[in-house]
């Protein structure tokens, strides 16, 4: 079985990092499966495993995460607070998130 999930350029550009884009893509995938009435999702005796069932029941389809702000100027960064610091640009350990382009940081 093959499933096609379509993302628009607007949807991609509206996501500030790959983590959030991946979550959004996965949500769209499950929405497509649900809309097709796939028995893997609807049938209680389904072939999906317990982890997938747990994920489906616990997932909120609209994820609202709080974004980190620059500790210098207060401007919102493109990273959510849950984004690991190793995946960020401009994060200073012991200080926090700063603008990833210091020349644009307004003090």
* DSSP helix/strand/coil, 80: strand
Mean pLDDT value across residues 58-82 = 76
Position 4 scores a pLDDT of 84
**What are the residues facing 97 on neighbouring strands?**
91
Helices in the chain by DSSP H: which ranges? 9-13, 18-35, 39-42, 50-58
**pLDDT above 60 (res 23):** yes
Q: Is 91 helix (H, G, I), strand (E, B) or coil?
A: strand
Task: At 43, give phi and psi (nearest 5°).
Answer: -85, 130
To the question of pTM greater than 0.75 for the whole model, the response is no
Q: What is the pLDDT of residue 45?
A: 39
Stretch 54-63: mean pLDDT: 52
Query: Residues 63, 58, 22, 82: is their CA dihedral positive or negative?
Result: positive
Size of the chain, expressed as the number of residues it contains: 107
């Amino acid at each position: 079985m093959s499933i096609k999930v379509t993302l628009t350029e607007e949807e991609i550009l509206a996501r500030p990092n790959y983590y959030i884009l991946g979550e959004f893509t996965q949500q769209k995938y499950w929405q497509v499966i649900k809309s097709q009435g796939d028995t893997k999702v609807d049938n209680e005796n389904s072939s999906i495993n317990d982890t997938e069932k747990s994920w489906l029941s616990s997932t909120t389809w609209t994820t609202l995460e709080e974004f980190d702000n620059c500790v210098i100027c207060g401007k919102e960064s493109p990273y959510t607070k849950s984004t690991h610091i190793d995946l960020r640009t401009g994060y200073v350990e012991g200080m926090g998130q700063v603008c990833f382009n210091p020349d644009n940081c307004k003090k």
